[in-house]
Amino acid sequence: MSVHPITLSQTGFVHRDELTYPFEERGLQFGDGIYEVIRIYAGASYLLTEHIDRLFRSAEAIRLDLPFSKQEARNLLTELLNQNEMTSDGIIYLQATRGSAPRVHAFPGDVPANVYAYVQDMPRKTKKLTSGVSAITQRDTRWENCYIKSLNLLPNVLAKQAAQENGSYEAILQKDGKVTEGSSSNIYLIKDGTIFTHPATKHILHGCVRMRVEEFAHDLAVPFVEKAFTTADIPDADELFLSSSTSEIMPVIDVDGIQIADGAPGSITRELQYQYEQDAAITHVNV
């Protein structure tokens, strides 16, 4: 894997070693900021417009002024890929915070946002995409505005750590028994040929891949029902899968040690994976 050292900052393109922030920084001290993770395949971004649209929705929700328009953001991120001579699979990580200022809770006044974005290699998880992964359930202890892609990720971090310590890939979050989403993904259950997933309310992140899953389901004539399922429904599921920019459409074959159906990725999940690869113009062999 190669290092891609050119980083986009609020002052332009700089080498990553030159990028420093004072410790009185709103993202560091309050988590007062937002972020995006954008998938790159063979050097080209996937769902860039959707991610930028969501970044602007998050910024509006927390009343943060971004120092660029949507079109400028597109151009800057494309330039970031070019400057790093990106040709591999990877991600762009982008974050914007309410800037550097002495620590007081309220907004600091006329302080510009701190923004940075960098590129990192990330191969596709082809083995897991083929065989499926396990998950555990965890209580969703997050706040009411999970549609904002906020830097405040402590509940997500703790849930993912619990999953990892259990040898699992993801933590499926539940509120009063209803599955909201994963610690860093959206979650879907398939029963009798219908896909169920939590509605796109304020209680989940409106995943960019989720938007595509809905379209793929429509194209495949598979009903896509935005209705929360419960943890009690999981053992009877025909198929279960999760989606995210880093995990794509990932089959879940075991939850809390209980096998889903025959323990292999189901046929609808595999059809959705195929649609995803077509849509993202992925040409590499999925081993």
Residue 152 found at the interface with ligand PDD (CB under 6 A)? no
Q: Least CB distance from residue 101 to ligand PDD, whole Å?
A: 26
Question: What is the x/- site pattern for ligand PDD, positions 29-68, by CB under 6 A?
Answer: --------x-------------------------------
Residue 99 found at the interface with ligand PDD (CB under 6 A)? no
Nearest in space to 156 (alpha carbons), one of 167, 171, 144: 171
Q: How far apart are CA 190 and CA 35, in angstroms?
A: 30
Interface with ligand PDD (CB under 6 A), residue from 83, 130, 194, 246: 246
Total binding residues toward ligand PDD, as defined by CB under 6 A: 15
Beta strand 178-182 with 239-244 is unpaired
The identity of residue 284, as a single letter, is: H
Residue nearest to ligand PDD (CB): 207
Which tokens in the block code for residue 246?
A: 């880093």
Which tokens in the block code for residue 269?
A: 């999940």
Residue 208 found at the interface with ligand PDD (CB under 6 A)? yes
Interface with ligand PDD (CB under 6 A), residue from 84, 184, 197, 273: 184
Give the SS3 label for residue 200: coil
Interface with ligand PDD (CB under 6 A), residue from 210, 240, 250, 280: 210
Interface with ligand PDD (CB under 6 A), residue from 59, 80, 94, 209: 209
What 8-state DSSP symbol labels residue 109? Answer: S
149 included as an active-site residue: yes
- Give the residue with the Cβ less far from ligand PDD, 77 or 208: 208
Give the SS3 label for residue 160: helix
- Segment contacting ligand PDD by CB under 6 A, of 60-68, 188-196, 204-212, 228-236: 204-212
Phi and psi angles of residue 101, each rounded to the nearest 5 degrees, phi first: -165, 155
Write out 245-282 in H/E/C secondary structure. Answer: CCCEEEEEEEECCEECCCCCCCHHHHHHHHHHHHHCCC
Q: Give the binding site for ligand PDD (CB under 6 A).
A: 37, 156, 181, 184-186, 205, 207-210, 243-246
